[in-house]
Amino acid sequence: MPVSDSIIQVRDLTKTFGQGDASVRALRHINLDIKQGEIYGIIGLSGAGKSTLVRCLNLLERPTSGSVVVDGKEMTALSEKELRLARRSITMIFQSFNLLMQRTCLHNVCFPMVISGVKKDAAKKRAMELLDMVGLAEKANAYPAQLSGGQKQRVAIARALATDPKVLLCDEATSALDPTTTNSILSLLKDLNQTLGVTVVVITHQMSVIEEICSKVAILDNGQVVEEGLVTDIFAHPTTDAARRLVYPGGDIPELLVDSSKVIRVAFNGGTAYHPLIASLAIDCGVKVNILGADTRNIDGKAFGTMLLGLPEDENEAAKALSYIRAQHNITVEEVEYHV
Amino acid sequence: MSEIFTAEFWGQYGTLLLEGFRDTAIMVGISAVLAYLIGLPLGVLLILTGEHGIRPNRTVNRVLGWVVNIGRSLPFIILMIALKDFTRLLVGTYIGVTGAIVPLVISAAPFIARMVETSLSEVDAGVIEAAQSMGASTFQIVWKVYLPEAMPSLVLGGSISIITILAYTAIAGTIGAGGLGDLGVRYGFYRNVSSMMLVTVLLLIVIVQVIQTIFNRVSTGIDKRLR
């Protein structure tokens, strides 16, 4: 058997809650391969089974059937003690941070080390390094109640890194944060992924989060992975309804689109919000484009989000518009296919 | 009533009151410690084995729940009388301070178990899940997460438990347990010395106020969520 380079390998995973007629099939025949060092997104609307899926990866939920291999270990076959050990290398951060409220930040970060038997002094030293890494060294002796949401999540990230994990699971880690803070947490995760090589699994319902940091994505709908692949591919060619709902701004593609010769999806990745793209396109190139849908946000004066544009019928004009937009900084363009 | 301010009153009853106070303190103190030794683990077990606990076990949870409910449904005075042979077997007597401690513990332990269960249930389930995700054992979760996180609430529960035990000791006084309740019954009721009744009542009020104030301050003082 060839050695797999996947750090997480899920095969035919099924999770059913309850029994008989009252049973709910939360996850059905899930297959995933997450490679070492990747930032992998799992996206779906609420109720799609994302949280259950991520909890099946560290066995906080025991799968009803199927296999979960993390770092070469079949998680479902581990004894309770082995599982506790394995969890030190697959740590997790949460939407509601879940810090110990009666302990200082320093002691929160020490906690996973203390429970795994690291000496107090060594744990404190390492915890200070980690707090420094997330930019909160000066808050070491503060209690979580004294911190903002973003700061709490930074402490939670430091805590999750304390046992030098190979995988960091992020369960809606930015969903309780405002856009500015979300962005700073996402860039922290990106940095940590690059500097430490930790594999990051991001669970979210926000496409913008996936767009911001993930290289690959699985779309979860009604307990099944309906689409999986490179983020850029899925954005360009969403083939399922679930994917379209997530990819197109405003939820669904307008009827109007069917008549348009060419449709492009423009993603704003943090260019200045004060540069009016559509207006300057009209003035500089004399090309008028049709805004079919838009979901953009202004974060710290930078534009984030997506816009769906219908290009003119005339091929020359369309090509002109396309090359103009492509030449802009911090903007990516994909051509979109849509089949009725 | 004004005789409670006279030297004559205190000359006659001062020693009795002092001894009564001492006996009450001993009964409450020892009973509370013993009742917590039983009630605290019971409360922890109720939380752990509950439906959303980290060690769900319906049978254990139901049996424990039953035992606790039975203990709580008997009025203290009935329990005290019903237990008198058991008490004598255990400590040699069913009267006096020693005899009162056995039924006090048995009556307070289930009460404390429910108080502890309530306090622990206030700990955010997410925090428990986080500890599990870090590979904490059940013992570590109890010792390092549940108890420290619930401590302010446990302390407040402690004041309620202790004051309840204090009230029980007064009841125990009616069948010869000693303490302030005994003084109130013997002198205030049987001998109709109204000033004695007044003093014991005032003393009990002061004790309750002092206990409540101390525990409230400790609870607020240790709660780091309030900073």
**The predicted structure's pLDDT at residue B110:** 96
Within 8 A of A91 by CB-CB distance, chain B residues are 133-134
* Radius of gyration of chain B measured on its C-alpha atoms: 21
Coil vs helix vs strand at A44: coil
Q: Is the pLDDT of residue A12 over 90?
A: yes
> Is there a contact between B183 and B177 (Cβ–Cβ < 8 Å)?
no
Q: Exposed, middle or buried: residue A141 (CB in 10 Å: 0-12, 13-18, 19+)?
A: exposed
**Sign of the dihedral defined by the CA atoms of residues B209, B210, B211, B217, in that order:** positive
Q: Does A86 contact B144 at a Cβ distance shorter than 8 Å?
A: no
Return residue ranges of chain A for CATH 3.30.70.260: 248-336
The nearest CA of chain B is from the CA of A187 a distance in Å of 23
Which strands, in side-by-side order, build the sheet including A302-311? A290-299, A302-311, A262-272, A331-336
Chain A residues 245-284 with a CB less than 8 Å from chain B: none
Average pLDDT over residues A299-312: 73
Picking from A58, A41, A38, the residue whose alpha carbon sits closest to that of residue A228 is A41
Q: How many CA atoms lie within 13 A of B114 on its CB side?
A: 15
Q: Which tokens sit at A240?
A: 């399922």
Q: Does B225 contact A102 at a Cβ distance shorter than 8 Å?
A: yes
Q: Write B11-18 long-range contacts (CB < 8 A, 24+).
A: B13/B187, B13/B196, B13/B199, B16/B183, B16/B187, B17/B180, B17/B183, B17/B199, B17/B200, B17/B203
| Residue A274 or residue A255, greater confidence | A274
Return residue ranges of chain A for CATH 3.40.50.300: 1-89+166-179+193-239
**The predicted structure's pLDDT at residue A1:** 41
Strand partners, A310: A263, A290
Q: Write A319-326 long-range contacts (CB < 8 A, 24+).
A: A320/A285, A320/A287, A321/A281, A321/A285, A321/A287, A321/A289, A322/A264, A324/A281, A324/A284, A324/A285, A324/A287, A325/A264, A325/A266, A325/A277, A325/A281
Residues B46-83 have pLDDT tens digits of 999 999 999 999 999 999 999 999 988 888 989 888 99
Q: Which tokens sit at A17?
A: 């809650």
Residues A74-102 have pLDDT tens digits of 999 999 999 999 999 999 999 999 999 99
Q: Which tokens sit at A111?
A: 């906690």
| Residue A278 or residue B101, greater confidence | B101
Question: With the CA atoms of A169, A242, A223 and B124 taken in that order, what torsion angle do they form, in degrees rounded to the nearest 10?
Answer: 50
Within 8 A of A116 by CB-CB distance, chain B residues are 135
Share of chain A above pLDDT 70, in %: 90
Share of chain B above pLDDT 90, in %: 68
Amino acid at B53: G
Average pLDDT over residues A106-123: 96
Mean pLDDT of chain A: 87
Give the pLDDT band of residue A297 (cuts 50, 70, 90): low
Block residue for tokens 């744990």? A123
Query: Does residue A51 sit at the B interface (CB-CB below 8 Å)?
Result: no
| Residue A269 or residue B213, greater confidence | B213
Q: Does B144 contact A114 at a Cβ distance shorter than 8 Å?
A: yes
The nearest CA of chain A is from the CA of B51 a distance in Å of 13
The DSSP 8-state label assigned to residue A105 in this structure reads H
Rounded to an integer, what distance in angstroms lies between the CA atom of residue B36 and that of residue B108? 8
| Chain B residue with Cα closest to A95 | B126
The nearest CA of chain A is from the CA of B194 a distance in Å of 49
Q: Is the pLDDT of residue A232 over 70?
A: yes
Give the pLDDT band of residue A339 (cuts 50, 70, 90): very low
> Is there a contact between B227 and A145 (Cβ–Cβ < 8 Å)?
yes
Average pLDDT over residues B182-197: 87
Q: Is the pLDDT of residue A262 over 80?
A: no
**The predicted structure's pLDDT at residue A301:** 63
The nearest CA of chain A is from the CA of B139 a distance in Å of 10
Give the pLDDT band of residue B142 (cuts 50, 70, 90): very high
Picking from A222, A263, A219, the residue whose alpha carbon sits closest to that of residue A244 is A219
In order of their start, the domains of chain B are: 2-226 (1.10.3720.10)
Amino acid at B81: I
Q: Which tokens sit at A104?
A: 């200082």
Q: Does A143 contact B140 at a Cβ distance shorter than 8 Å?
A: no
Q: Does B133 contact A58 at a Cβ distance shorter than 8 Å?
A: yes
Give me the residue from B127, B135, B137 closest to A98, CB to CB. B127
The nearest CA of chain B is from the CA of A267 a distance in Å of 35
Average pLDDT over residues A196-223: 92
The nearest CA of chain B is from the CA of A133 a distance in Å of 20
Q: Which superfamily, per CATH, for A248-336?
A: ACT domain (3.30.70.260)
The nearest CA of chain A is from the CA of B120 a distance in Å of 14
Which of B129, B132, B133 to mutate: most A Cβ within 10 Å?
B133
Residues A26-40 have pLDDT tens digits of 999 999 999 999 999
Block residue for tokens 């042979």? B85
Within 8 A of B143 by CB-CB distance, chain A residues are none
DSSP string, A271-336: EETTS-HHHHHHHHH----EEEEEEEEEETTEEEEEEEEEEPSSHHHHHHHHHHHHTSTTEEEEEE
Picking from B26, B30, B13, B22, the residue whose alpha carbon sits closest to that of residue B186 is B13
Give me the residue from B127, B152, B227 closest to A100, CB to CB. B127
Q: Is the pLDDT of residue A4 over 90?
A: no
Q: Which tokens sit at B64?
A: 């424990």
Q: Does B133 contact A102 at a Cβ distance shorter than 8 Å?
A: no
Q: Does A101 contact B137 at a Cβ distance shorter than 8 Å?
A: no
Longest Cα–Cα distance of chain A, Å, equals 71
**3-state DSSP of chain B:** CHHHHCHHHHHHHHHHHHHHHHHHHHHHHHHHHHHHHHHHHHHHHHHHHCCCCCCCCHHHHHHHHHHHHHHHHCCHHHHHHHCHHHHHHHHCCCCHHHHHHHHHHHHHHHHHHHHHHHHHHCCCHHHHHHHHHCCCCHHHHHHHHHHHHHHHHHHHHHHHHHHHHHHHHHHHHHHCCCCHHHHHHHHHHHCCCHHHHHHHHHHHHHHHHHHHHHHHHHHHHHCHHHC
Block residue for tokens 């484009």? A289
Within 8 A of A159 by CB-CB distance, chain B residues are 134
Rounded to an integer, what distance in angstroms lies between the CA atom of residue A281 and that of residue A289? 8
Q: Does B148 contact A102 at a Cβ distance shorter than 8 Å?
A: yes
Q: Is the pLDDT of residue A2 over 60?
A: no
The DSSP 8-state label assigned to residue A130 in this structure reads H
User: How many CB atoms are closer than 10 A to CB B214?
Assistant: 12
Which of B134, B218, B224 to mutate: most A Cβ within 10 Å?
B134
The nearest CA of chain B is from the CA of A242 a distance in Å of 29
**The predicted structure's pLDDT at residue B1:** 62
Give the pLDDT band of residue B8 (cuts 50, 70, 90): confident
Give me the residue from A58, A85, A100 closest to B145, CB to CB. A100
State whether CATH 3.30.2270.10 applies to domain A1-89+166-179+193-239.
no
Q: Does A115 contact B140 at a Cβ distance shorter than 8 Å?
A: yes
Query: Does residue A29 sit at the B interface (CB-CB below 8 Å)?
Result: no
Give me the residue from B126, B134, B144 closest to A96, CB to CB. B126
Mean pLDDT of chain B: 92
Rounded to an integer, what distance in angstroms lies between the CA atom of residue A248 and that of residue B17? 82
Coil vs helix vs strand at A70: strand
Within 8 A of A94 by CB-CB distance, chain B residues are 126, 129-130
Q: Exposed, middle or buried: residue B204 (CB in 10 Å: 0-12, 13-18, 19+)?
A: buried
User: For A257-266, A284-293, B182-191, which range has the lowest pLDDT when averaged over its residues?
Assistant: A257-266
Residues A145-203 have pLDDT tens digits of 999 999 999 999 999 999 999 999 999 999 999 988 999 999 999 999 999 999 999 99
User: For A45-54, A259-268, A323-332, B32-41, which range has the lowest pLDDT when averaged over its residues?
Assistant: A259-268
